[in-house]
Amino acid sequence: MATTKTSKHTSLYEFHRTHGKMVEFAGYDMPIWYTSTMEEHMAVRNRAGIFDVSHMGRVDVTGPDAAGFIENLFPTGIGKQPNGKSVYTLLLNEDAGIVDDLIVLKVEEGKYLLVVNAASKEKDLRHMERVGAGLNFKVDDITEATTMIAVQGPSAVEALQPLTPLPLAEMKRFTHAFSTVKGIRSVITRTGYTGEDGFEIIVHDAASGAMAVWEALMKGATPCALGARDSLRLEAGLPLYGSDMDEATNPLEADLAWVLSKDKRSYVGWQRLSSLMEQGPARVRRGIVMDERIPRHGFKVTDKAGEDIGVVTSGTFSPVLKRGIAMGYVKTPSPQLGDAVKVVVRDAPSDGKIAKMPFYDDSVYGWKRKPHQQ
Partner 1 sequence: MSNPSPYKVPDGLFYTKEHEWARVTGGTARVGITDYAAKTLNDIVYLTLPAVGKEVKQLASFGTVESIKAVSELYAPLSGTVVGTNQELTNHPELINQSPYDAGWIIELKHSMLDAERKTLLSPSQYEEFLKSLDAEHQN
- Reference 46, options 161, 194, 191, 172; nearest CA is 194
Question: Is residue 36 near partner 1 by the rule CB under 8 A?
Answer: yes
- Contacts (Cβ under 8 Å, ≥6 apart) of 159: 48, 50, 151, 153, 217, 219, 220, 221
The residue (of 153 and 319) whose beta carbon lies closer to partner 1 is 319
The residue (of 57 and 227) whose beta carbon lies closer to partner 1 is 227
Question: Is residue 32 near partner 1 by the rule CB under 8 A?
Answer: yes
Question: Is residue 324 near partner 1 by the rule CB under 8 A?
Answer: yes
The residue (of 117 and 316) whose beta carbon lies closer to partner 1 is 316
Instruction: Report the phi/psi class of residue 323: left, alpha or beta, with left for phi > 0 and alpha for psi in -120 to 50.
Output: beta
The residue (of 36 and 208) whose beta carbon lies closer to partner 1 is 36
Find the binder of partner 1 among 294, 311, 321, 344 (CB under 8 A): 294
Question: Is residue 21 near partner 1 by the rule CB under 8 A?
Answer: yes
Question: Is residue 83 near partner 1 by the rule CB under 8 A?
Answer: no
Question: Is residue 43 near partner 1 by the rule CB under 8 A?
Answer: no
What are the C-alpha distances in Å from 145 to residues 142, 148, 206, 225? 5, 10, 6, 21
User: Segment 326-355, which members bind partner 1 (CB under 8 A)?
Assistant: 346
Residues 314 and 299: beta-carbon distance below 8 Å: no
Helix H or strand E encompassing 139: strand 138-141
Provide the mask over 243-282, with x wherever binding to partner 1 is found by CB under 8 A and - wherever it is not. Answer: ----------------------------------------
Q: What are the phi and psi torsion angles at 327 (to 5°)?
A: -120, 155
The residue (of 278 and 347) whose beta carbon lies closer to partner 1 is 347
- Reference 26, options 55, 58, 50; nearest CA is 55
CA 104 to chain centre: 12
With contacts defined by CB under 8 A, name the span among 34-42, 51-59, 130-138, 168-176 that binds partner 1: 34-42
Find the binder of partner 1 among 13, 15, 28, 33 (CB under 8 A): 33
Find the binder of partner 1 among 11, 186, 314, 316 (CB under 8 A): 316
- Reference 201, options 167, 227, 177; nearest CA is 177
**Whole-angstrom Cα distance, residue 332 to residue 81?**
34
What are the C-alpha distances in Å from 207 to residues 18, 160, 179, 212, 231? 18, 20, 19, 10, 29
With contacts defined by CB under 8 A, name the span among 9-17, 30-38, 67-75, 327-335 that binds partner 1: 30-38
Question: Is residue 296 near partner 1 by the rule CB under 8 A?
Answer: yes
Give the CA angle between residues 156, 162, 165 to the nearest 5°.
Answer: 105
Residues of this chain that bind partner 1 (CB under 8 A): 1-3, 21, 32-33, 36-38, 41, 227, 230-231, 293-294, 296, 316-317, 319, 324, 346
